[in-house]
Amino acid sequence: MNGITASTALWYSSRATGIVALVMLTAVVVLGVAVNRQSRLPGLPRFGVVGLHRSVSLLSVVFLAIHVVTAVVDPYVTLRLTDAVLPFGASYEPLWIGLGAVSFDLMAAVIVTSLLRVRLGRPIWRAVHWLAYVSWPVAIAHGMGSSTDMQSGWLLALAIGCIVAVVAAVAWRIAGKANAAPRPARVAQVFTQIRRHESVRAGGR
């Protein structure tokens, strides 16, 4: 395009903030698994990993808000604010935008229940939190389908990088579950560790 119009600026802002939000949410998923696996990030205390997981997720909400608002305000495509939360009713790319709405709804549930987790109690908080693993794939599908940006060039490479990161994180998560002995076998596992003079303690992740 030749000149930068206000519309173009809004359109670029929406795409850019969308991509940034996707990268941040990728980081959130990886950090979430890191919390679960009780791993440490160099230089950070234990609650640093937890804190980073939360901070990045809240920051991604900010970028998502801008991503949605700029898309709605931009006259180039006719999107209503409700299209961001009510899926598949948009007049522009209803499928791909709809996926964005689904992802956003799931994310909102995860974040709201996390902010209220003490009051809601562990069973509800945990059950809803699992939806994060649904929200992310839907988000990247939305990202790659809604515009051609991430379908070629370095943005495609970025998208693939994010997918690889999340797949690795999920594998890491599953490995943790596999390592954790079922209850009847836990004590035996500790005796094995003692015999091998391991100082690693049992019961964690």
Partner 1 sequence: MNGTTRLRVDPTRCTGHGCCAELLAEHISLDEWGYPVIAEADIPAVLLRDAKRAVADCPALALRLSREAY
Partner 2 sequence: MATMTAQAQVSHPGSASGLAPGRRLLPPAGLTLDQHLVLHGPPAYRGRLGALVDELRAAGLTGRGGAAFPVHRKMSAVLSAGGRPVVAANGAEGEPAAHKDKTLLALAPHLVLDGLQLAAEAVGARDAYLYIHRAGRVSQYLDAVLAQRHAAQVDRVPVSVVYAPPRFLAGQESALVHRIEGGPAVPRYAPRLVAECGIAGAPTLVQNVETLAHIALIARYGAPWFREAGTPEEPGTMLATIYPASGKARVVETAPGTPISALLDVQAAQAVLVGGYHGTWLPAARAAQLRLSNTALRPEGAALGAGVLAALPYDRCGVRETARVLRYLADESAGQCGPCLNGLPRVADTWATLAGAGPHRAARANLERWAHLLDGRGACHHPDGSMRFARSAFTVFGDDLRHHERGYCSGTNSAPFLPLPAHAPLADEDWS
Segment interacting with partner 2 (CB under 8 A) among 4-12, 97-105, 109-117, 176-184 = 176-184
Torsion of CA 58, 61, 62, 67, to 10 degrees: 160
Pick the binder of partner 2 from 119, 122, 196, 201 (CB under 8 A): 201
Query: Which residues, including other chains, have CB under 8 Å from residue 92's CB and lie 6 or more apart?
Result: 77, 78, 79
Please report, for residues 2, 16, 62, 112, 196, the alpha-carbon distance to residue 56 in angstroms, rounded to integers and kept in the order given. 36, 17, 10, 15, 40
Binding site for partner 1 (CB under 8 A): 35-36, 38, 45-47, 50-51, 117-118, 121-122, 125, 201-205
CB of 189 to partner 2, least distance (A): 9
Q: Which of 49, 38, 12, 24 is nearest to 135 (CA)?
A: 24
Q: Which of partner 2, partner 1, none has residue 50 at its interface (CB below 5 to 8 Å by kind)?
A: partner 1
The helix (run of H) or strand (run of E) holding residue 129 is: helix 122-129
CB of 63 to partner 2, least distance (A): 39
In the complex with partner 1, the residue whose CB is nearer, 3 or 203, is 203
Q: Which of partner 2, partner 1, none has residue 177 at its interface (CB below 5 to 8 Å by kind)?
A: none
3-state secondary structure 179-198: HCCCHHHHHHHHHHHHHCCC
User: With binding defined as CB under 8 A, does residue 42 bind partner 2?
Assistant: no
User: With binding defined as CB under 8 A, does residue 3 bind partner 2?
Assistant: no
Residues at the interface with partner 2 (CB under 8 A):
182-188, 190-191, 194, 201-204
